[in-house]
Amino acid sequence: MAAAEMSFLHGQLRERKQRLESVINATPDDASLQALLHEVDSALDRFTTGTYGLCDSCHEAIEKDRLLADPLIRYCLDHLSKHERAALQRDLDLASELQRKLLPPRDLKVDAWETNYHYAPLGAVSGDYCDLYPAKEQLYFMLGDVAGKGVAASMRMTQLHALFRSLIGMGLPLAQIVETINGFFCESGLSGQYATLVCGCAQAGGEVELFNAGHLPVIAVQKGKTQLLESTGFPVGMFRDASFTPVRVQLGDDDMLFLFTDGVSEAEGGNGEYGVDRIVNLLCEKTPCCAGDAVSACLEDLRAFAGSQPGMDDVTLLAIRHAGRDREQGSVDRGQ
């Protein structure tokens, strides 16, 4: 584990010890608090002896994401007791259910826009981020990928979701929202805990303001031709003084934006990586007539390409299509 992460965990334990001692002074007879303080002191002692983060049974390193989620754990996954395994599985099941409930409606239609997405975690929880937020005749869309895997990455993904929805609800400009989230990630995260991110605001007339912070290119499909909207800034959480430059694009009727995470472009098959070019060619050849068709066509082609190769990362796809005012099916207000 990196020195910055160990320093962060040590600080968390010292802070927890101070809080516990303060509470115990007020309630000295609480045995459960005394036991918890003993666990914290034991963890701090392991820092002193240089054994913190090592499994008490096999003395191998404990999984980093588990330590970041709970600095008091003492055993790696291979040496959990039956009771501990059951408790861990319950926690993962709950985290997975909570993540699913944070996802937007699958086929959301807002004014002139129709959307569709596919969200498939590799494990129980995911560090991929996907959200749609209708607000005041606008459609906000977000897709990102938090560095790392497991519980720690999923917790950051949940923070992204809450931050975006809160800041959009305050009516802030999109540029200010991205800068605020970058500042929060820089100040509250560990070294290396950043997120690549695409976020945009789509107007009913087809105008889209888009920020790409270190993410893969967004594919704009316009009248059968494609344009790659590349990243214009660093991932959020990497540099406190980073600047983010918007890209503006005008979409006409039947034009589309197609977003994806690296679980798609870096998927392995018999001929190497799936790649961005293959997605571009697919969207040109298939000329999907709706957002759902674009997502389905890419998934079908990805599965054919990968064959029996096991997936190595979370897979997320998001298609946003401008259907045109004449085919609107009524606005949707889900901007809670």
At 185, which CATH number? Answer: 3.60.40.10
Q: How far apart are CA 212 and CA 27, in angstroms?
A: 51
Domain boundary among 65, 80, 95: 80
Together in a domain, 314 and 180:
yes
Average confidence (pLDDT) over 113-141: 89
Together in a domain, 34 and 174:
no
Average confidence (pLDDT) over 30-36: 85
**Residue 92 placed within a domain:** no
pLDDT band at 325 (very low <50, low <70, confident <90, very high): low
Together in a domain, 173 and 66:
no
pLDDT averaged over the chain?
87
pLDDT of 148? 72
Together in a domain, 76 and 110:
no
Residue with tokens 């979370």: 314
**Residue 309 placed within a domain:** yes
pLDDT of 329? 47
**Residue 158 placed within a domain:** yes
pLDDT band at 285 (very low <50, low <70, confident <90, very high): confident
Together in a domain, 296 and 214:
yes
pLDDT of 123? 75
**pLDDT digit string (tens) for 184-213?**
988 876 556 789 999 999 998 999 999 999
Domain boundary among 47, 80, 113: 80
**pLDDT digit string (tens) for 70-126?**
888 888 888 887 887 777 767 767 777 877 888 999 889 998 999 999 998 887 778
**Residue 97 placed within a domain:** no
Number of structural domains in the chain: 2
Check residues 192 and 165 and name the one with the higher pLDDT.
165
Give residue 49's domain range: 3-80
Together in a domain, 137 and 35:
no
Together in a domain, 168 and 310:
yes
Together in a domain, 124 and 251:
yes
Check residues 270 and 266 and name the one with the higher pLDDT.
266
pLDDT of 34? 87
Together in a domain, 56 and 185:
no
Q: Which among 11-25, 178-192, 201-215, 276-290 has the top mean pLDDT?
A: 201-215
Residue 214 has pLDDT above 60, yes or no: yes
Together in a domain, 64 and 142:
no
Together in a domain, 282 and 315:
yes
Together in a domain, 268 and 154:
yes
**Residue 198 placed within a domain:** yes
pLDDT of 334? 46
**Residue 252 placed within a domain:** yes
Give pTM, 2 decimals: 0.75
Residue 326 has pLDDT above 50, yes or no: no
CATH code at position 17: 1.20.120.910
**Cα separation of the two ends of the chain:** 39
pLDDT band at 330 (very low <50, low <70, confident <90, very high): very low
**Residue 336 placed within a domain:** no
